[in-house]
Every structure is written in C-alpha cells, then in structure tokens.
Amino acid sequence: MGEHVHVRLSQGLSVSEDGELIEHAACRCGATFTKVFDTNGGEPEPQS
C-alpha cells in the first residue's frame, strides 16, 4: 500500500484552556489531525 493523500473529515470542534478553537479531523486510514485557530485576535483582553 502506497502513500495517499489524507482526507480530513471533520470530527468536531473544541476549545483549549487558552481559549483557542481546535478543529479535530481524521482520515479514513486512521490518521488524525488538529488545527488550531487563534481566537485572541478579535477580543482584546487587557492584562496587567
């Protein structure tokens, strides 16, 4: 069996402790992927 191009089937979304949106995806071959969306850009959080 040769290599193939993974197909990322969306498995859902979750939010990390840091408030980042994480998309979970998996290929039919069993490979899994995560993609992190940094959501901090749109919401200024003043920290001192």
**List of residues 6+ apart from 9 with CB closer than 8 A:** 25, 26, 27, 28
Query: Residue 6 interacts with Zn ion (CB under 5 A)?
Result: yes
Phi and psi torsions of 9, nearest 5°: -90, 125
Q: Give min distance, CB of 9 to Zn ion, in A.
A: 10
Residue 29 lies near Zn ion (rule: CB under 5 A):
yes
Round to whole Å and give the CA distance between 9 and 46: 37
24 part of the interface to Zn ion, by CB under 5 A: no
Per CB under 5 A, 8 contacts Zn ion: no
Per CB under 5 A, residues contacting Zn ion are 6, 27, 29, 31
